[in-house]
Structure 1
Amino acid sequence: MTNAPTSPFKTPVTVALTGASGAQYGLRLIDVLVAAEHEVWVMISKAAHMVIATETEITLPAQPERLAQALSERSGAAVGQIRCFGREDWMAPVASGSGAASAMVICPCSTGTLSAVATGASNNLIERAADVAVKERRTLVIVPRESPFSPIHLEHMLTLSRLGVVILPAAPGFYHHPQSIDDLIDFIVARILNQLGITHQLMPRWGEDQSPTSSFKDE
């Protein structure tokens, strides 16, 4: 009996980008996870591709293999560190509870995706992966970016919060005296990393006196 090959990377984290504003948060999160030597499983919705093209100067291909290559080149990922899945790739590990365990972050999360996850719709792989995370009681962090929130949005957030999902709105603070948009982005990414249990030095914790840096390490 031969042992299964071990991954050279730390535990995988699934990152899904959907069609809300704030694509920069999700792209930065991928970069940080790569720097922290985690394997990153990525899903980008069709609407998210449009948002990325609108909000950034980045153009990403839709085909999963080409997308993985483009993200790897952008983040400096090692070969095989980033894996991308299409919206109906039902053989992807994230589609089943028997797949490899992985925390999941939907960043940014559109209110449409929020609704689908709250109701268990599972109409595409992102929604199904989130449904798996909920039913398997894995860490799921949802980063909504909408203003104002309607009662429908708030009810869906409450439903998911009661199921153990972390609702982490993209609402950066200012007590760390941000000097750039990148500092505001890192504020939210740092909060996501805290929920994943991944230590970082993106910004000091409350009460600490240190300058933001770009080095990361896993606990």
Structure 2
Amino acid sequence: MRLVVGVSGGSGIPYALSVLRALHGLGVETHLIVSSGAKRVMSAEGGPQLSDLTALASVTHEDRDLAASVASGSFRTDGMLVVPCSAGTLAKVAHGFADNLLSRAAHVTLKERRRLVLVVREDPLPRPMLENMLKVFDAGATVMTASPGFYHSPGSVEELLHFVTARVLDQFGLDVPGFRRWGEAP
């Protein structure tokens, strides 16, 4: 399997790291795109850094490289996910504004009718953002929120991240080891 993983400027880079760790562990080929906004968030939040993400990716693309392989529909992938997906990236995808590689790759994913999952992490949700969520949904994307469940009695932040990671990767038919589903025995 080959997936494009976009990381945009919304707070929540630990979600991206968790997803990349899981994909790496599952042997999935990943093409990572980190936006300039995400790089600023990494610096401000002091959590996972760019080197932590790139160490887990199969290939890393510069966000300004609109000639990268993932910018073309002829480059086959099994889909794309953006985690976290900022309000700005959501708006670009909703309106087909492909001014960087991340938004171009998302555009290509939609035009090729491949699975696109956008994991938003922002509250409260203003009307323009809700409208953009509906636009991308209508275009074929799946919109998810980075909202972990609690029925599995998480004991750490890592377990909360693992929950969201597992639910996101469910969208691609991938099973994350150690994820307990509702109704399953511990």
Classify the TM-score, shorter chain: over 0.9
- The 5-angstrom pairing of residues 1-219 of structure 1 reads 11-60=1-50, 71-72=54-55, 75=56, 82-210=58-186
Moved segments of 4+, more than 3 Å = 56-59
Tell me the amino acid that sits aligned with residue 106 of structure 2: A
Measured after TM superposition, the shift of residue 173 of structure 1 is 1.4
SS of the equivalent of 2:62 reads: coil
SS of the equivalent of 2:59 reads: strand
How many residues end up aligned between the 2 structures?
A: 186
Q: Is the 8 A contact 1:93 1:100 kept in 2?
A: no
Distance 2:130 2:168 in 1: 20
Tell me the amino acid that sits aligned with residue 49 of structure 1: K
Q: Percent identity?
A: 38
SS of the equivalent of 1:28 reads: helix
Q: Deviations over 1:74-119 (max 9, x none)?
A: x4xxxxx610111121222210111122310000000000000000
Measured after TM superposition, the shift of residue 53 of structure 1 is 2.5
Q: Deviations over 1:8-58 (max 9, x none)?
A: xxx211111110011100111111101000111001011111212333444
Q: Is the 8 A contact 2:13 2:48 kept in 1?
A: no
Distance 2:177 2:80 in 1: 21
Q: Deviations over 1:129-168 (max 9, x none)?
A: 0000111110000001111001100011011112221101
Tell me the amino acid that sits aligned with residue 180 of structure 1: S
Measured after TM superposition, the shift of residue 127 of structure 1 is 0.4
Distance 1:49 1:154 in 2: 25
Distance 2:42 2:185 in 1: 34
Q: Deviations over 1:54-82 (max 9, x none)?
A: 3344433xxxxxx5x9732xx4xxxxx61
Tell me the amino acid that sits aligned with residue 27 of structure 2: E
Gaps (5+ residues) in structure 2? none
Tell me the amino acid that sits aligned with residue 122 of structure 2: E
Distance 1:145 1:166 in 2: 14
Distance 1:56 1:35 in 2: 25
Higher RCO, 1 or 2 (CA under 8 Å, sep at least 6)? Answer: 2
Larger Rg: 1
Tell me the amino acid that sits aligned with residue 178 of structure 2: L
Q: Is the 8 A contact 1:178 1:184 kept in 2?
A: yes
Gaps (5+ residues) in structure 1? 1-10, 61-66, 76-80, 211-219
Q: Residues 196 and 70 (structure 1 numbering): CA distance in 2 closer, same or farther, change over 3 Å?
A: closer
Q: Is the 8 A contact 1:97 1:136 kept in 2?
A: yes
Give the TM-score normalised by structure 2: 0.94
